[in-house]
Amino acid sequence: MLSAASTSTSLTRMLGAFVREHWRAYASAAAMLSCIAALTVWIPRQVGHVVDDLVAGGLKGDALLRQLGLLVLAGLIIYLLRVGWRLALFKAAFHLGARLRTRLFARLALQGPAYFQGQRTGDLMALATNDIDAVEMAAGEAMLAGFDGTQTLLLVLAMMTIAIDWRLGLAALLPFPLMALAFWWISKHLHAAAQDSLTRFGDLNQQVQESLAGVRTLRALGLVNRSEQRFGELAGHAAEAAFRSQRWEAAYEPAVGMTLGAATAIALAVGGWLVAQREISIGQLTAFTMYLGQLIWPMFAAGWVLALLERGRAAWTRLAPVLDAPLTLADEGRATVPAQAELRGEGLSFSFPGAKRPALEDVDVALKPGKTLGIVGATGAGKSTFVRLLLRQSEPDAGRLSLGGVPLPDLPLASLRAHIAWVPQEPFLFSASVAENIALARPGATPADIEAAARLAAVHDDIQRLPKGYATEVGERGVTLSGGQRQRVAIARALLSDAPLLVLDDALSAVDTGTETAILDHLRELRAARPDRSVIVIAHRLSAVMDADEVIVLKQGHVIERGTHQQLLELGGWYASQWRYQQIEASLEAE
């Protein structure tokens, strides 16, 4: 966790670099604010002259109207300039928010699974919303409000002390050191309250995400009421934390009000005495009190800026470690690999953190272009672990995987993953139409291409029965489809891809044997049509790998058998006994 000092420094450095990059927008906004400040301090002085001329009886008729017209014109110009600086500034600040969100998404997209095992989805979502909003406000409102408030304060103080009377000005400033002390004390507590508020919002986000993702499970187990109760508790905590933050932020206003009230009382007392002594005029005292009223904005601006900066600093404390987190998988490869490349694994070993035994140990694999490799074994044998290594979701502890003789770490991650069409056991579907989910890897695919892929995956007939066919929205994570339909849509998506290597990671587990047979028949047709495409089939049902050019059997991370389907049957080991068992099971189901 970053310290408060280092966080403040890094936030200041980041904002400084952003301001330098967008200096034109900030300079134009600053120029307009300077004009606003100049007109703002001119108005009280002009009013003072008008009052003195009226008292003296020298301002009447058209001359009075001209003076009033100038004041109205100044007010109109101020209004237009305030609109202008906001347009110039907020365009730049919104650009910062968009950049930070893009940077956050890009960083998270490059992280491996090991990183997300220590993160909560709700917290990451909160970073992309509330936290970046807070940093954006610090770059926009806070920067220019600070500039405007400081500039207005200096000009007003100059007019009070130099143009009117320095003694009156100094007397009116006596309460301000106490306000500065109050601001320091409030800011100290506001930072902690703002950080707690952002954290509580992340907790609430996490609860919402988990509840919506697991709504079926909650309903099935009768846990909806408990989930609602937990949500209510977290919502209450978030509301309390937000209230504490707002309470400390609101504390700036009383500090400003009490200070200006005391300053006004002192100014009227001292100013009245000076008027009685004929050392200043009534018009000058009127202008001075107007200037004193204009100090309300700089003082409020100071409190507002401090509140925005503290919220921004608290948000940056949470955001910076995620943006700067080292990648769990290096992406420094620059090599290229031909489409038809041999996949080879040599001496592969891998252990999960804290595991008592390796998930894979000394595993050798070879897959020539256009061939099919089957990988089978009991649950926990290491089948899916091999796929993790192939996709570089994890790195092997020993040994290496290569494509065309090029080690996988020497390939860019994007290039490697574009080479592989992967269908996981639990496929992910996006909240879009069936057609859009199938065409994910080929956005330009025609309806005919999409339908052809769906037929190969034996899901076309199911899609036709949906309310809108291929245009049917599948809902978040494909919630409107059954498990088998989701798997077959994911298979269709992979088959539509142009990737040279197709990996089916137990992708037929949720379909019946008849549908599995149809899909396997279609895959044989596809292999004949595309002899250059290699296939890896990971399965529990051995019927899925009986046509593979080679089958390897894993047990507790070791290869215990390998060969063709027929060779393994003749070997009479695990594969042969499992085959006989599954054949008996299938015959009983058929009866």
137-174 residue pLDDT tens: 877 777 777 777 777 777 777 777 776 777 777 777 77
pLDDT digits (tens, 9 = 90+) for 362-385: 999 999 988 889 999 888 888 888
Angle, CA 454 vertex, CA 448 and CA 455 arms, to 5° = 90
Total-model pTM: 0.66
Which amino acid does the sequence have at 348?
A: L
Task: Summarize the confidence of residues 248-272 as an average pLDDT.
Answer: 76
Which amino acid does the sequence have at 71?
A: L
pLDDT for res 348: 92
Q: Read off the pLDDT band of 319 (50, 70, 90).
A: confident
pLDDT digits (tens, 9 = 90+) for 412-445: 888 888 888 888 888 888 878 888 888 887 888 8
Find, among 554, 575, 553, the residue nearest to 360 by Cα.
Answer: 554
389-418: buried (b, 16+ CB within 10 Å) or exposed (e) per residue? bbbbebbbeebebbbbebebbebebeebee
| All structural domains of the chain with their residue ranges | 92-323, 565-591
3-state secondary structure of 558: strand
pLDDT reading at 8 higher than 70: no
Lowest mean pLDDT: which of 18-27, 74-83, 387-396? 18-27
Q: Which of 115-124, 296-305, 495-504 has the highest mean pLDDT?
A: 495-504
Lowest mean pLDDT: which of 119-128, 337-346, 403-412, 433-442? 119-128
Find, among 413, 402, 399, the residue nearest to 112 by Cα.
Answer: 413
Residue that the structure tokens 């000009």 belong to? 155
With a pLDDT cut of 70, the percent of the chain lying above it is 91
Cβ atoms of 426 and 490 within 8 Å: the answer is: no
pLDDT reading at 404 higher than 80: yes
pLDDT reading at 47 higher than 80: no
Paired residues of 561 in beta bridges: 553
pLDDT digits (tens, 9 = 90+) for 512-530: 777 777 888 877 777 777 7
pLDDT for res 479: 67
pLDDT for res 453: 86
CATH architecture for the domain at 92-323:
Up-down Bundle (1.20)
Q: Read off the pLDDT band of 591 (50, 70, 90).
A: low
CA separation for the pair 259, 276 (Å, rounded) = 26
100-124: buried (b, 16+ CB within 10 Å) or exposed (e) per residue? bbeebeeebeebbeebeeeeeebbb
pLDDT reading at 400 higher than 50: yes
Cβ atoms of 16 and 96 within 8 Å: the answer is: no
pLDDT reading at 541 higher than 80: yes
pLDDT for res 349: 92
pLDDT reading at 329 higher than 90: no
Neighbours of 219 (CB within 10 A): 11
